[in-house]
Amino acid sequence: MSNVSGVHDVIVYNGKQKALTDQRLSVIGFKTPSGKVDPTHADYDANYKRPDARCVSIPRITISCVPQVVQDAMLAALEDLQDSVIRKIVVAAIDEGKNVITIMDAQINHEAIAEFAKLEAANGKLNKELIEDFFDENLGDKLTLALADAMKYDSSRPDAAKEKQIADAVTNYKNVFKTLAAPKAGMSPKIAFQMQKALVLCENKEDRVYKALSAKITAHLEQKDPELIGL
């Protein structure tokens, strides 16, 4: 399941696997969403099959601090975060239909865990006010210029109607961004594509709000429309 090269193989878990020497076993289990097996639910899928549990043997995290009780608590928390990182990698690979899944050390090291934790914290604390402040500081002016250019507006020839149209469009973008504060915000892939084009205008791509919004928009871009039988 693992080797010294820093590449770790993810395999189907049968309850009997054990971690390799000086490593720990990370196990990823899956639950069946109730909506998938409920014929009355909008998410019902007669062909749904719960993914098999997976596992991977990975190097143990090592930390050193005192007292021991703090070290134990911190180590447990880091391992939980690392397991969450692994789950995200595995779920993404399964969604892509991959049969062979491997994890690199660089994907689960301290830096990767810290980055994941920052993104999770940003996602958990997103609110409309935070998004509005981010938009006003990083996107408002750039989006105004981009829209003016797209509409071929010549600022040397003032046009109140066009200026209002641009200002209204910027406000609409801001309002849609603010809807992403909701934990289960809904957005069609078509709208998500437009929002992504607007978001990339932000120059500070290390901003935690940028990263959180980018992750949410990407998730909406990857959604697929349900296949419905025509009436």
- Residue 230 included in any domain: no
Q: Are residues 12 and 118 in the same domain?
A: yes
Let me know whether 100 and 130 are in one domain.
no
pLDDT tens sequence across 82-100: 999 999 999 989 988 888 9
Domain boundary among 122, 142, 170: 122
**176 with 102, same domain?**
no
Range of the domain at 195: 126-221
Cα–Cα separations (whole angstroms), residue 78 to 82, 109, 204, 224: 6, 10, 28, 34
> Which of 122, 141, 164 delimits the end of a domain?
122
Task: Give the whole-angstrom CA distance, residue 74 versus residue 191.
Answer: 41
Q: What is the pLDDT of residues 128-186, one digit of tens each?
A: 888 999 999 999 999 999 999 999 988 888 889 999 999 999 999 999 999 998 877 77
Number of domains in the chain: 2
Q: Which of 122, 147, 166 is the last residue of a domain?
A: 122
Residue 144's pLDDT is what?
94
pLDDT of residue 19: 95
Q: Which residues fall within 8 angstroms of residue 194, CB to CB, at 6 or more apart?
A: none
Task: Assess whether pLDDT exceeds 60 at residue 3.
Answer: no
Whether 12 and 115 map to the same domain: the answer is yes
Q: What is the DSSP track for 41-54?
A: STT--TT--PPPPE
User: Average pLDDT of the chain?
Assistant: 88
What are residue 59's DSSP bridge partners? 23
* pTM of the predicted model over 0.85: no
Looking at the fold, whether 109 and 156 belong to one and the same domain comes out as no
In a domain, 229, yes or no: no
For residue range 24-58, what is the model confidence (pLDDT) as tens digits?
999 999 988 877 888 888 778 888 889 999 999 99
What pLDDT, on a 0 to 100 scale, did the predictor assign at position 134? 92
Same domain for 79 and 161, yes or no, is: no
Q: What is the percentage of the chain residues whose pLDDT exceeds 70?
A: 91
Q: Which two tokens stand for residue 3?
A: 């080797």
